[in-house]
Each structure stands twice: as structure tokens, then as C-alpha cells.
Structure 1
């Protein structure tokens, strides 16, 4: 079966159980989003956590209580079925992965759609810059760092970053391209020296897949929405749902809709 190319087709294929792969490189030009689903009694505090940490947690849409439709970024879509894969957490513990969260849905749940760096990768490619995980057909490499987010009473997390290798003479251009996409993580948070942000071995990813480094390349790190999953693990809510890392919600928003 062919790979879906439009946001609507991707969501429909997910809904039909026909697509459960990572989404880097899909639907070029359209915004992809992380998903966090929490009970209503935690929703306001989680929103505060996101507002205090807009680099890793830029909120694009919030669903009404009990309503799975993201009305601002994809009217008619259903966050219970329209992502390739989900993770279920109970009391902060990851318990299972699934392709359909309708059996877990409750009337008190609120969905948060949070910007994703996959949304600026098409702009990097258009600028002639490499995106190695797309070249290699992999998920993006992601790492937990020693950089702490600004906490709330119940939510705290180390910053999680995604990484793309670039030559030193490509880094400035990558910063110029991505800083415009402030609602999908914007410019890099760190360049080179992984050890300086607590990453001991670049080949040992915490999420996603390791990628090849070509001669002379340096790692360039962007804030990542998987930060929210580490916040859930620390907060230990009785129940939560997220996307599986790299398996994003593909919205109807255009990348350029979110640029500065």
C-alpha cells in the first residue's frame, strides 16, 4: 500500500488501522503535532506548564472536555484514532502502546496538540540542508538533557531535544530557517558538545533512532515535544495518553501559518 501524502489521507488511514509508522517527511508543508491527553482536573496546570516552557511545549490547540475533535487545527478529525500510534500511562508508568484510544476514552479527558519540529523540516530541505533521519527512512533521534524546564506544583521535566547532524557551515542557515517557526520549537537550543547538555553518547538515543554522522558534521539540537511525556512520568497522574514518539498528528494547518 502506498504511503499517504495529504493530512486528510494520513488521518483516514490511521483511523482505518492502515498506517502506524513514524511521520517524518509526510505531508510536506503541513504542521504536525504532539498529543497529550489528561483528565480535566490536571488540564489547567498542564497548560501553565506549557506556557512557562513554550520552546518545548508550544500549544496549537486544546480540545473541549470529552470532545476528541481538534477544532482549530483539523476540524472533523478525531484524536482518538487519527494518529499512527499512542502510549497509555497509568500513575506515570508506560503500560502499553496502541493504534486506537477509543477504548480508553473518558468524558473528563482534554487533548493538547503541541507543535512539532517535523513541521520545519520541509523548510530545511527547501534550503538545501540535509535532514538525515528522512534520508535514512528513520524516526528522528531524541535525547533527555540536563536542562530543567520551569516547573509547576505537579509538572516538571528535563528538556528533551531532537537532533539533526549538519556541517558547521550549514548551522547558521539552519538557525535562520527554523527561528521563524516559533510555534513548532523554532531555532536550536544547543549546537555541538552533547556532553554539555548531559548527552554522554550520541549514538544512544532515548527515543527514536540513531542516525549516521558524515565527516565533519556536528549535532544540532532543537527542543522537542516529547518533553511533555517526561513531565507525565514525573507527575504520575492516574491516567494519561500521549502520541508514541515520532508518530505525530498531521493537522490541516500549513507550516507557513505559524511563521513569524
Structure 2
């Protein structure tokens, strides 16, 4: 029987572990743990690493380090400035990675009912504990159902105007490559969660996500496979960004809304 990231009862198995971090990235993760604790001190409740590093699929010099930090309070401007300095320092000191992304949230928000099937699910299922007490102990178990699909990626229609504006404003090849990477990832993951309840499983692998999507929407399969490739090796072609925000993105947003509804509005 195919595994599909679920246990025998159909619940998500937590993705990744520190034991899966490849040898060449262990120093990065150790530094992230130490420096995060030093930077935030008593403000920090817990820290998590997610993405390709704890999945053991990171590519030296190509993959980024992704961290989620849970604070005892809602993040302040000072907390955000600290995160910027922290991320920049780790990125500069470790050529094994290409960038550092840090998400900051107050622990009460992460545990709130409003975020139960979005940030709560993300922490409980896709984040690996790095420092502090694990908030996942206070969260439920999750299944790949329509509610999860709606609350994770059911806001694409609202995001498209922002994506269009960023695509128009990108003036350099490097800016367009960064947007290509971000947009590609978002669209592939949204395409996967669109079909996730029907497929009844989970994967974070972008290539596999595109293939699963293509089983249900063969007429769009080639576009999604191309987006998955661009997420791994982004291009600077403005025509690719235009196709995302003018064709694939709007179609995906309409189909998503029709099948799962729209995400509960956030403040």
C-alpha cells in the first residue's frame, strides 16, 4: 500500500526530523538553534525548522533554511528586526544555504481556533521542533480533508492582485527569479491541496505534487509540471510570471473556490 504521508488511521504523520538533516547541513541547523536562543532569550517560546533540510532533500548552495519562531507575545518591530539580522548572519556564514526565511508568530495565535487548520496544522505536521516546548502537543491530529484544503490555500484569489503588482514592479533578472521561485512554489502547492482530499495523502515534494495534480486535471498538467521545475530552478523570463498571474493563477483560484470555498478572512 502506498504510504502517502499518513498513518494507518488516515492522519498526517509529522514530516521531517532532525535525524534526517544531511551531514553538510547539520552545522547550519546547530547554529540556527544556538543563535535563535541567544537573539530572543526569554521572548522565545519555541523554534522549529521546516522545508527541505529536515526532510533530508536539501541541495547544497541551492536550498534555503526555513525557520518558524513562536514567541510568548505577538511579534513587535524589534522582533522582526532581530529576525532580519539573525537570518542575514546565518546566510552570510553558511554558503551551504541560499537564503534564510524566518516566520514569526505569537504562540497564542498559533494555538488559536482561527488558525487551527492553517498555521496550527503547519506547525503540527510540517515543522520539526528545534528549541523549546513543542506546541504541537496542544493541537489536534489532522486529515487531508476539504476543510484543511480551504483554510490553507483557499485565499489565492485574494493574493493574485498582490502577485500581479509584484510581477509588474520586478525590474531586474534577480528580482524576477525570486518571484518565479515564490510564485511557482505557491501555485504548485495550491494545485496539490486542491486535489489533496481526493488523493487522500500528503507530499511536500513539488515534482510529486505536480504529478498528483495532473492526475485530476490533465489539461493543466504540463503547466503545473513546468511550474514545479521553475520552483527548483527559477527563471527570469517575465512571460513566465505573466502566465502565472494571468492564466494559471486565476484558473486555479476559480476552481479552488468552486470546490472548497474561500479561506476564512483573517484580521
User: Taking structure 2 as the reference length, what is the TM-score of the superposition?
Assistant: 0.25
Q: Relative contact order (C-alpha < 8 Å, sep 6+): which is higher?
A: 1
Indicate the structure (1 or 2) with the bigger Cα radius of gyration: 2
Kindly indicate which of the two structures has a greater share of residues assigned to strand.
Answer: 1
User: Taking structure 1 as the reference length, what is the TM-score of the superposition?
Assistant: 0.26
Kindly indicate which of the two structures has a greater share of residues assigned to helix.
Answer: 2
